[in-house]
């Protein structure tokens, strides 16, 4: 083991750093759903999430000012035009009441 450490051949020393993600971490897009949107409709929304969304966090009403909500983080290699197109699509979705960009969900005031 000592030899492997000296040769820098120990895999756990090269693991990527942990990334924090939660309601108090900044998200690329926070989506508040309209009141009355069912769990099934929100699950269907999740199934339509594009591949350049790297994190998807479902927020209960207690973390989203009384709304069902999701917080999304976009991957670093997502093209700006892809992200812009997706946000426009989300904002036109009938299930969506309001969107917030580049904010932590807990920082959104009612």
**Mind listing the pLDDT tens digit of every residue in the chain (110 residues)?**
677 677 777 766 666 555 555 677 899 999 999 999 999 999 999 999 999 999 999 999 999 999 999 999 999 999 999 999 999 999 999 999 999 999 999 999 98
Secondary structure (DSSP) of 48-104: T--TTEEEEEEE-GGGTTTS-EEEEEE-TT--HHHHHHHHHHHHH-TTEEEEEEEE-
Q: What is the pLDDT of residue 7?
A: 75
Phi, psi of 76, rounded to the nearest 5 degrees: -65, -30
C-alpha to C-alpha distance for 86 and 21, rounded to whole angstroms: 21
The DSSP 8-state label assigned to residue 12 in this structure reads G
Q: Which domains does the chain have, with CATH numbers?
A: 19-107 (3.30.70.260)
pLDDT of residue 54: 92
Q: What is the pLDDT of residue 37?
A: 96
CA 23/CA 104 separation, integer angstroms: 6
pLDDT on residue 21: 59
Provide the 10 A C-beta neighbour count for residue 48: 10
**pLDDT score at 25:** 87
pTM for the structure as a whole: 0.79
Closest CA to 101 of 110, 91, 60: 91
- pLDDT of 9: 73
Please give the helix or strand (H or E) that residue 38 lies within, else none. Answer: none
């Amino acid at each position: 083991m000592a030899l492997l450490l000296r040769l820098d051949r120990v895999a756990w020393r090269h693991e990527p750093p942990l990334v924090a993600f939660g309601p108090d971490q900044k998200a690329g897009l926070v989506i508040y759903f309209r009141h009355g949107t069912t769990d099934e409709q929100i699950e269907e929304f999740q199934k339509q999430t594009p591949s350049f969304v790297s994190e998807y966090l479902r927020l209960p009403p207690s973390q989203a000012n009384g709304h069902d909500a999701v917080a999304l983080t976009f991957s670093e290699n997502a093209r700006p035009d892809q992200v812009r197109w997706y946000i426009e699509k989300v904002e036109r979705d009938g299930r969506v009441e309001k969107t917030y960009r580049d904010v932590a969900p807990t920082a959104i005031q009612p």
